[in-house]
Chain A
């Protein structure tokens, strides 16, 4: 099942690499459309900016621009909608935005979209994904935009309540305006629930960040689980003081859904990160280069090359002695009864290259020249009646390949070099030698 998931992930990665530009545009357009539509639903007082055509145009602009432009556009849209209610109120909301930027948002301008994500995902009851994802992927500095997002959500809710209920828009004057502003500020200052939520979200992000930084296996997965648990516990604590909308059951369900979503998103983030195709240009003295760098897919599974090193068995080692020359033997691997000569031939074929070389004339000549006598190991002098020694344990060597070359493959592609026969290995070696000489020649020619 895991292999199927990894293959699916690799296929998604391949498709993303092929159509990266178009997919990015489509995704950004879809997200921008969703965010702007949600904002218009919450605080869309100006019908001109809530029209589908304008929303489409703004979404197209956000699709072609960086992520920060969407956040800025949402803030400006909020001020524009409030401007349609009253100019002074719009100035008031604008000043609040500037204060938020001056105190908090200027530290992490690249993560300003987190501020917009909280109210948008809050509409779908899954704002808990934001602190979990932020803890897994960013630094604790993103607590600032997250808290600003919670404040922004409450600001929109308070403006909606106050403008809708407390003040008649057709009879808005200076006195009413002051009353409206005071009502908004009162609601915000007295909203301790907002402070509790800020505290819980900050705690969840910190917990997720600290656990994923620890160096043990499955730290990311465990951080998601513990972060979700912390989120549930925090909300249960809040529910004791300020009853939650929909009760604890709803909060529990959506917390678990958020945790699951974060797991799925992170599983893809781990491979989509750095897998985007890079188009770069640079020049040197001779050429101007247009380079398209396509990163390789790494499925994450390490391929282990297992090489067993068995000590010779009693029967194999006993073939060295002359006492058993005439006796037939059973091949322990196949169960076939073989003559001694054929048994020796088969054993020679299975031997590694070094042993073959040793068996060749060169080693024998060297030994003859040096005058070394071949010493027979003691275990070869066993008599026929004695019981065989216990089979020594085979030594298993697991060779882990370098990380550079770990699973750099497309699914279905063979990589096992041991599968090649001698002829292919020789061809590979010849090709390698030719390549080396060619490189040296090229450098010299240049």
Chain B
């Protein structure tokens, strides 16, 4: 027999798992600090790669000047400027990603709390069902025991 109440709860859980829950449940595996640190690290790596490619494009753009002035260039100051800009960009993106992913994690926890409440409801339902079944078994056992000890006249024909 289909239990409508159980199907309703399980349907809502399934819909959530299929839509936004896909991303939120992945986040649930992380602690807040671990997730934020992991995402900030990924951001820093991506920014480093992007910066290197940007330098490459800048070198191609200024290739005429670089080739012409290759001997007389002050590489130390150029290196310091590159490092300075790199650290500035890294700091900006680290701060943006830190706050962004922190907010993202907190929002996902709110959605997950509703999901967990539904799960608790389903679990409670299963517990009550098991208790009802146990009571039903106890009743039938009691009835069987009473029928065995009863007289012939007491039997249902």
Chain A positions within 8 Å of B, measured between CB atoms, are 92, 95-96, 98-99, 102-103, 106-107, 141, 178, 181-182, 185, 278, 280-282, 284, 287, 289, 291, 293, 442-446
User: Does A443 lie within 8 Å of B11, measured CB to CB?
Assistant: no
Known contacts A287-B2, A291-B7; A102/B53 CB under 8 A = yes
User: Does B57 lie within 8 Å of A95, measured CB to CB?
Assistant: yes
Expressed in whole angstroms, the Cα–Cα distance for A102 and B51 within the complex equals 9
Q: Which of A92, A185, A443, A445 has the most CB of B within 10 A?
A: A443
User: Does B61 lie within 8 Å of A181, measured CB to CB?
Assistant: yes
Tell me which residues from 54 to 91 in chain B have a Cβ below 8 Å from any Cβ of chain A: 54, 56-57, 60-61, 63-64
A-chain residues with CB within 8 Å of residue B61 when the two chains form the complex: 181-182, 185
User: Does B53 lie within 8 Å of A95, measured CB to CB?
Assistant: yes
Q: Which of A92, A95, A98, A289 contacts B7 (CB 8 A)?
A: A289
Task: State how many residues of chain B have any CB contact under 8 Å with chain A.
Answer: 33
Known contacts A99-B54, A284-B10; A443/B132 CB under 8 A = yes
Chain B at the A interface: mostly helix, strand, loop or mixed?
helix
User: Does A107 lie within 8 Å of B53, measured CB to CB?
Assistant: no
Interface segment, one of B28-36, B42-50, B112-120, B143-151: B42-50
B110 at the interface (CB under 8 A from A): no
B142 at the interface (CB under 8 A from A): no
B95 at the interface (CB under 8 A from A): no
A-B CB contact pairs (8 Å), 29 listed = A92-B57, A92-B60, A99-B53, A99-B54, A102-B46, A103-B46, A103-B47, A103-B50, A103-B93, A106-B46, A141-B100, A178-B60, A178-B63, A181-B60, A185-B61, A280-B15, A282-B10, A282-B11, A284-B6, A287-B2, A289-B7, A289-B11, A291-B14, A293-B11, A442-B1, A443-B129, A444-B136, A446-B3, A446-B132
* Chain A: CB-nearest residue to B54: A99
Expressed in whole angstroms, the Cα–Cα distance for A444 and B18 within the complex equals 34
Q: Which of B11, B13, B129, B136 has the most CB of A within 10 A?
A: B11
User: Does B64 lie within 8 Å of A178, measured CB to CB?
Assistant: yes
User: Does B129 lie within 8 Å of A446, measured CB to CB?
Assistant: yes
Nearest Cβ on chain A to B64's Cβ, whole angstroms: 7
A-chain residues with CB within 8 Å of residue B49 when the two chains form the complex: 98, 102
* Chain A: CB-nearest residue to B11: A291
B-chain residues with CB within 8 Å of residue A102 when the two chains form the complex: 46-47, 49-50, 53
User: Does A98 lie within 8 Å of B50, measured CB to CB?
Assistant: yes
B-chain residues with CB within 8 Å of residue A182 when the two chains form the complex: 61
Nearest Cβ on chain B to A151's Cβ, whole angstroms: 14
Expressed in whole angstroms, the Cα–Cα distance for A444 and B14 within the complex equals 27
Expressed in whole angstroms, the Cα–Cα distance for A287 and B2 within the complex equals 8
Nearest Cβ on chain B to A223's Cβ, whole angstroms: 20
Nearest Cβ on chain B to A272's Cβ, whole angstroms: 15
User: Does B14 lie within 8 Å of A282, measured CB to CB?
Assistant: yes
A-chain residues with CB within 8 Å of residue B1 when the two chains form the complex: 442, 445-446
Nearest Cβ on chain A to B11's Cβ, whole angstroms: 5
A-chain residues with CB within 8 Å of residue B53 when the two chains form the complex: 95, 98-99, 102
11 A-B pairs besides A282-B11, A291-B7, A445-B1 with CB distance below 8 A are: A96-B57, A98-B53, A99-B53, A278-B19, A284-B6, A284-B10, A287-B2, A289-B7, A289-B11, A446-B1, A446-B133
- 7 closest pairs, A vs B, by CB? A102-B50, A280-B14, A102-B46, A278-B15, A103-B50, A99-B50, A282-B14
Expressed in whole angstroms, the Cα–Cα distance for A182 and B11 within the complex equals 59
* Chain A: CB-nearest residue to B4: A439
Nearest Cβ on chain B to A204's Cβ, whole angstroms: 21
Known contacts A98-B50, A107-B100, A446-B132; A280/B18 CB under 8 A = yes
* Chain A: CB-nearest residue to B101: A107
B-chain residues with CB within 8 Å of residue A92 when the two chains form the complex: 57, 60
Expressed in whole angstroms, the Cα–Cα distance for A282 and B21 within the complex equals 15
Expressed in whole angstroms, the Cα–Cα distance for A378 and B4 within the complex equals 58
Known contacts A102-B46, A444-B136, A445-B136; A280/B11 CB under 8 A = yes
Q: Which of A103, A442, A444 has the most CB of B within 10 A?
A: A103
Expressed in whole angstroms, the Cα–Cα distance for A95 and B13 within the complex equals 43
Expressed in whole angstroms, the Cα–Cα distance for A287 and B18 within the complex equals 20
A-chain residues with CB within 8 Å of residue B7 when the two chains form the complex: 289, 291
User: Does B56 lie within 8 Å of A95, measured CB to CB?
Assistant: yes
Nearest Cβ on chain A to B61's Cβ, whole angstroms: 5
* Chain B: CB-nearest residue to A140: B100
Nearest Cβ on chain A to B48's Cβ, whole angstroms: 9
A-chain residues with CB within 8 Å of residue B6 when the two chains form the complex: 284
* Chain B: CB-nearest residue to A107: B100
Nearest Cβ on chain B to A356's Cβ, whole angstroms: 37
Expressed in whole angstroms, the Cα–Cα distance for A107 and B3 within the complex equals 43
Expressed in whole angstroms, the Cα–Cα distance for A178 and B61 within the complex equals 8
* Chain A: CB-nearest residue to B58: A185
Nearest Cβ on chain A to B26's Cβ, whole angstroms: 14
B-chain residues with CB within 8 Å of residue A103 when the two chains form the complex: 46-47, 50, 93
B-chain residues with CB within 8 Å of residue A280 when the two chains form the complex: 11, 14-15, 18
Known contacts A103-B50, A141-B100, A289-B7; A281/B14 CB under 8 A = yes
* Chain B: CB-nearest residue to A283: B10
